[in-house]
């Protein structure tokens, strides 16, 4: 499906564009081009020639993404990321029922498998820290707020695995799919039909981003849940 960049924008001024990135769209151009050949960077540059991504999200992850419209804005945001002055809040649906209250996971990370995944590596890994809070516990799953202090690849996913709370539908880190039969009592599947998962990707959404604009004003930008994540949460709430 062809994306219209303007439809993704949640905020824009002379320096920044904040978008709600859809799932399954790469932030940067991939080595193997998508069937549609779309990436957020390519779409952003078509909209504004000097656009640069301030950070990136995994291809499967949806949510808020900051794009700088000029070099000064890019440097300003990059320095805030470097000094860990940007607050990122993600929402994840995890397998299992968990009660996290400001739980901090401080475990170093190294890439494995030709850079497509990561592992905890206490000896040679790079420092990584994430703080977790339970937002809502359901029958077999939990909606968790994840606040990465550092910005390592797959950091939230591997840290949740360490808490025995892998993200739903994240097989790389032990996450299992969730079916309606898991959450709805007395669920009857029609004979001869195969039950499909309630979400078909890693259940992770970048919910908000807080940083200072060039005038020094700190602002928080939020991205509403995309359809698939919203449907999952609604079903979990309905049968909680």
- Residue 57: how many CA atoms within 13 Å on its side-chain side? 29
Which contiguous run of DSSP H or E holds residue 89?
strand 87-95
The residues near 225 (Cβ < 8 Å, ≥ 6 apart) are: 62, 91, 205, 233
CB atoms within 10 A of CB 200: 13
Taking residues 125-147, report their average pLDDT. Answer: 97
Which of 58, 114, 170, 182 is an active site residue? 58
Share of the chain above pLDDT 90, in %: 87
The residues near 66 (Cβ < 8 Å, ≥ 6 apart) are: 16, 17, 18, 53, 54, 55, 77, 209, 211, 221
Residue-level pLDDT at 2: 84
Q: Residue 134 in 3-state DSSP?
A: strand
Averaged confidence pLDDT in the chain: 94
pLDDT band with cut points at 50, 70 and 90 for residue 37: low
Residue-level pLDDT at 30: 75
- Look up 58 and say whether it is catalytic: yes
Residue-level pLDDT at 34: 47
Question: ∠58-110-96 over CA atoms, to 5°?
Answer: 60
CB 202 within 8 A of CB 167: yes
* Tokens matching residue 108: 């170093």
Residue-level pLDDT at 114: 81
pTM of the predicted structure, to 2 decimals: 0.94
Taking residues 209-219, report their average pLDDT. Answer: 97
The distance in angstroms from the start CA to the end CA of the chain is: 34
Taking residues 54-82, report their average pLDDT. Answer: 97
The pLDDT tens digits for 103-122 are 999 999 999 978 889 999 99
């Amino acid at each position: 499906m062809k994306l219209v960049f303007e439809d993704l924008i949640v905020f824009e001024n002379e320096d920044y564009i904040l978008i709600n990135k859809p799932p399954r769209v790469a932030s940067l151009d991939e080595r193997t081009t998508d069937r549609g050949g779309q990436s957020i960077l390519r779409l952003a540059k078509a909209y504004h020639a000097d656009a640069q991504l301030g950070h990136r999200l995994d291809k499967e992850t949806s949510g808020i993404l900051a794009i700088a419209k000029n070099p000064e804005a890019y440097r300003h945001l990059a320095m805030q990321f470097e000094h860990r002055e940007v607050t990122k809040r993600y929402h994840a649906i995890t397998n299992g029922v968990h009660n996290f209250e400001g739980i901090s996971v401080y475990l170093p990370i190294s890439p494995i498998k030709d850079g497509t995944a990561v592992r905890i590596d206490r000896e040679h890994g790079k420092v990584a820290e994430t703080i977790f809070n339970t937002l809502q516990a359901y029958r077999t799953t939990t909606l968790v707020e994840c606040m990465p202090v550092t910005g390592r690849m797959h950091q939230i996913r591997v840290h949740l695995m360490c808490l025995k709370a892998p993200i739903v539908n994240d097989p790389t880190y032990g996450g299992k799919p969730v079916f309606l039969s898991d959450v709805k009592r007395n669920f009857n599947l029609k004979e001869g039909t195969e039950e499909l998962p309630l979400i078909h990707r890693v259940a992770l959404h970048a919910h908000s981003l807080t940083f200072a604009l060039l005038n020094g004003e700190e602002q928080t930008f939020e991205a509403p849940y995309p359809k698939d994540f919203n449907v999952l949460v609604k079903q979990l709430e309905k049968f909680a």
